[in-house]
Amino acid sequence: MSTDLSLSQPSSSQPGLKQSSLAGRANSLLPILAGALLIWFALNWDTLVTVWTTGAFIDTDDAMKMVEVRDWMNGQGWFDMVSHRMDAPGGVLMHWSRLFDVPQAAMVKFFSLFASAETAERLMRIVNAGVWFAAELLAVARVSTLLMGRDSAAFAVLLTAFSLVTGALFTPGSIDHHNTQAVLLMVLLWMLIEMFDSQRKIFAICAGVVAAYSLQISIENLPSIAVMIAAIGLTYAVKGESYVSQIRNFSASLALSALVMLAVTFTPANYGHLTYDAFSIVHAGSAVLGCIGFLALSAIGARFEVKGRLIALALIGGLVAVTILALFPGLLKDPLSAVPDLVRQGWLDNVMEAKTLPTLLRQEPMDNLPIAIPMLLGTVAMIFALAKSTGAARVRWAYVLGFVLIGDIGVFWQVRMAPLTMPVILLGGVYACISAIGFAANSPRAWMKILPILMLAPLSDTMWTLVLPKDGAGGSAAAAEDGAACFAANAFTPFRNLPKGTILSMIDPGSHFLAFTDHNVVTGPFHRDFRGLALTLQAWKSPVGQAEGFVRESGATYLAFCPAANEFQSMAKAPNGLAANLRDGKIPAWLTPVELAGTPFKVFAVK
């Protein structure tokens, strides 16, 4: 095994390399990729079987995405992103991407050629997760090869395959956008490195298209895209004319792609609609203005040396930034700042993925150290890689470290940023392992041969997950199982026997009711439903007399709750509230119990 860590120009781009050699290297990685996919199957087998046999949704976002895909396939308009069955009759304008629905709908159509509609959906949900996981492995392998040579790719692939934090994004049945965004993040890093190493314009063009598409899906990758843009500007300031075609091709591609994404997201009448929590003219306009700045920089940069280009970059960048903030001042705010205090305090602050990593480390340290430790050690490993490398290799590691640092910062906003960044952070583990292999190979001591494992293990989130005790390990496993039963597919199917109505339940089951039944719901776990979320919180926590007013205002015809659900138990802590009364069997006169067999939910009709 090669241990050359000079990290000069990657072997795959050396002149004179024969095509057969490239093919041979690809073939040598195929068994590793196949093994990684087998690991994915093994780690997720139980979930895969559950999705296939019952159609269960592991996550509320997956259930809601399936509802959106169905609505579009059943005739809802391309530009109509309203969930009409949530908080009816007005509905809720969702913040997701119709363009993202296209491949999923296409797969359902394809599988429907030889399977029932229900089976086609389940096939799509399983295949979708597997395809994106395979794409992530390929992107990780390529980035690792560019950084550390082709022998590192196997370590990168296997470390990613065994990562439980990363794997959570690619659980069978996952069809929300988080796994796609993780792949696109790695692809953006790949394109950024290729732009530096190669004069081929395809990488710059692809970087612009992928960045715009990522923003159109959701704004999760916006901080990393900002880092990429800053890296491109700084690279041009240093390299000058040898990089001018790259910065121009990227700018033209990003600007054009952003405008195309705007055109496929809104009708012309709504182009001026400003939103900060999802793609809009805010992000398309900012991209275009930034690209105009880059084009201006590339036009005048030839007149200056490095210092002059850096000054020009600062001046033009500052002017563009001031213009963007003058037009779109909300960019400096939290994208979720519009969420009312009642909803934020009663729901959003309690959503696990919306908490900060420091908060979770205080509340459940053992469960979250497997995230925090690899992030810390991976960042340190990246810094070592940057310090030890020289020339082009140092630039590549600087790019990677930039992506890692913005991910580290992101978890101080929401921990949901950690799984997106973890595949990049794991490259630090690969660097430590490859470095240890080189050191051990030159050591006469036999015990030094285990050094690579000793270096790799601490950077693996899976290792920490296995060795650290669980928070609340002494708690009731039966209680956890009962809570999970509240979201099983068979918990919702009995509701199909009820006349169609509007269900006021807890917040989390909302999207499951939409996915498994034809009922309307008052709300679901989506931050834009200000009215439905507020009414639900007020209804369950208020005294019975006040709760009736909130229930009737919501338009609910049914109340439903699952006693074992953590959310209901939390709602029932409000003294004298409706949830506490129903928990204790005190049924108000304006509710009638509904006997519904086969579900853990307690159901009531509103008189």
Domain range summary for the chain, segments of one domain joined by +: 22-56+95-176, 182-447, 483-606
142-176 as b/e: b if 16+ CB within 10 A: bbbbbbbbbbbbbbbbbbbbbbbbbbbbbbbbbbb
DSSP state string for 526-585: -TT-HHHHHHHHHHHHSBHHHHHHHHHHHT-SEEEE-TT-HHHHHHTTSTTBHHHHHHTT
CA-based nearest residue to 184, from 230, 219, 231, 233: 219
- Is residue 218 within 8 Å of residue 177, measured between CB atoms? yes
Q: How far apart (Å, rounded) are the C-alpha atoms in residues 151 and 148?
A: 8
CATH level 3 topology of 483-606: Rossmann fold (3.40.50)
pLDDT of residue 476: 52
pLDDT of residue 278: 94
Within its chain, how far is the Cα of 118 from the centroid? 26
DSSP state string for 464-490: HHHHSPPTTTTS-HHHHHHHHHTTSGG
pLDDT of residue 20: 39
pLDDT of residue 40: 94
- Is residue 94 within 8 Å of residue 529, measured between CB atoms? no
Q: Could you tell me the two tokens for 69?
A: 């895909």
Residues 25, 31, 34, 40: what is their CA dihedral angle, to the nearest 10 degrees?
-110
**Which of the 8 DSSP states describes residue 181?**
H
- Is residue 22 within 8 Å of residue 11, measured between CB atoms? no
The ranges of the chain with pLDDT < 50 are 1-24, 474-475
- Is residue 116 within 8 Å of residue 402, measured between CB atoms? no
Q: How far apart (Å, rounded) are the C-alpha atoms in residues 223 and 403?
A: 9
pLDDT of residue 598: 94
pLDDT of residue 479: 57
